[in-house]
Structure 1
């Protein structure tokens, strides 16, 4: 497995601010999850934030719904209709737990918590219809989407100018800002038996590693290995992370994660949560 043991810290909404160590029970859960990603690290919050007014709420018993997290399975969620397409950069901040629907005014299929790995929940918006937005979900199956009501105080919208693409076959990662390339690197990808999954996903969280030095930062994505049901007993979350041996860059040798050089990781960690990642 690629991940060492972990200890998690909570990050605040601003860049460079980190919170205290999470309770022991939560720490153990994350230890099982990725065997090595820890301490939520600073990530730039998306900009142009704006709040909305509160309409009459729809009454839903959230406790009966599966959680839309990297640990969860939202089998009833609609699949992403455009898994190779970029978005216009709109991202949604979930400030309070809320319901996810299969369509505007449709059936509630999941619940979205306000945090993911103790980082605030930011999800990319792929479509909008009135007071509803379609977002990518971090749960299995890969490519899950859902509709959330945006005209409430539970959410706010912002915009990120960044887009990350990874050409899995060419083993090339490119970061663009407002359509202009700002960085390009040769990276390592999944081996033939544990391929990096393709599709449209996003930067889910940022975790600071304090136990080992194989990667100072782990950036979990909203997607999972298709061949491994777990990494070290967890849900098999795919991530961006560094690697101490540069010979892995340009090879297909990981368990599905994307191994990146240190300067690429430095840039990636500064991108807003919710930034779209196209794995092609």
Structure 2
């Protein structure tokens, strides 16, 4: 489980150590502002297998002022800088199709998922339904210090149904699609966990780009199936509990936790210095640090996570 108390020191390190890198999503014209994906840099290090890990990046899809010159972005080895046409979701490089963390518009073909990012300095009201009961509001930053990025599950005219850790598993909050408060964009990435198979897939559209062995919840604290969203990417300094880093999810462990447990009930996909492939966690999904760095280099905040029994 991931808790703000347990991650407090890590958040401070994240704020102090992260750098912002920009990759242009060009709209191909002069009339519209250019949207850029903001990447949060993840420190390099050594994996659990002893291999040297290069720094990775998690994209947060924030919008920066038009006309600002982007700094030189870095990709993972074998990946090149890419551009996409805003509004079409097409991606190409000199070598053919490329994998972009976020897209300004919905792709013409294949699975894709909407993400709603709260613009810096704004707040968004949450409702039980379109024009329903007011549930309160969220500002532009999570409890772990990340930009707020909702995974969009359902849409209705003028409204978005989103996952949020403020509600029980399976319940959606509804937010007004207000362009003055939200930037809405798309990702082809999705995460799919099989509890029976003790595996985690990263998909780009219909294509599996990563298939990993993971540890899942043990007897009595099984990982709850459902659809969630990635809310935070948090880096740790060789944590014996979370490894190099963690992707916090919008879901919670609904089973009773051991007496005296202070780790909270938020679900997460996190690293571990130990072996993986078992069913022994308190609900979180454990992966190797090598796997986590692979995910951090690709997965944007707001990515949907599907956990199947």
- Which of 220, 241, 260 lines up with 2:248 in the alignment? 220
SS of alignment partner, residue 195 of structure 1: coil
* Residue pairs, 1:206-245, within 5 angstroms: 206-210=233-237, 212=239, 215-228=243-256, 232-233=261-262, 235-245=264-274
- Which of 128, 132, 140 lines up with 2:155 in the alignment? 128
CA-to-aligned-CA distance 1:124-147 (integer Å, 9 cap, x gap): 111222211111112241122111
Conserved 8 A contact 1:176-1:183: yes
SS of alignment partner, residue 219 of structure 1: strand
Conserved 8 A contact 1:87-1:276: no
Conserved 8 A contact 2:270-2:285: yes
Conserved 8 A contact 2:216-2:222: yes
Distance, in Å, in 1 between the alignment partners of 2:216 and 2:263 is 20
Change (3 A) 1:110 1:143: farther
Alignment RMSD: 2.9
CA-to-aligned-CA distance 1:154-203 (integer Å, 9 cap, x gap): 11101111010000111111000021100001110011121111100011
Task: Identify the residue that residue 113 of structure 1 maps to in structure 2.
Answer: 139
- Which of 34, 43, 53 lines up with 2:58 in the alignment? 43
Shift of 1:233: 2.8
Are positions 1:138 and 2:173 aligned together?
A: no
Task: Identify the residue that residue 90 of structure 1 maps to in structure 2.
Answer: 114
Conserved 8 A contact 2:224-2:307: yes
Instruction: Give TM-score, length-normalised by structure 2.
Output: 0.64
Between the two proteins, the alignment pairs up a number of residues equal to 221
* Residue pairs, 1:115-194, within 5 angstroms: 115-116=141-142, 117-194=144-221
Question: Which moved further from structure 2: 3-12 or 148-157?
Answer: 3-12
Task: Identify the residue that residue 88 of structure 2 maps to in structure 1.
Answer: none
Conserved 8 A contact 1:204-1:274: yes
Conserved 8 A contact 1:188-1:260: yes
- Which of 288, 294, 298 lines up with 1:267 in the alignment? 294
Conserved 8 A contact 2:245-2:270: yes
Conserved 8 A contact 1:208-1:216: yes
For structure 1, the 5+ residue unaligned runs are 19-40, 52-85
Instruction: Give TM-score, length-normalised by structure 1.
Output: 0.70
Larger radius of gyration: 2
- Which of 276, 279, 282 lines up with 1:252 in the alignment? 279
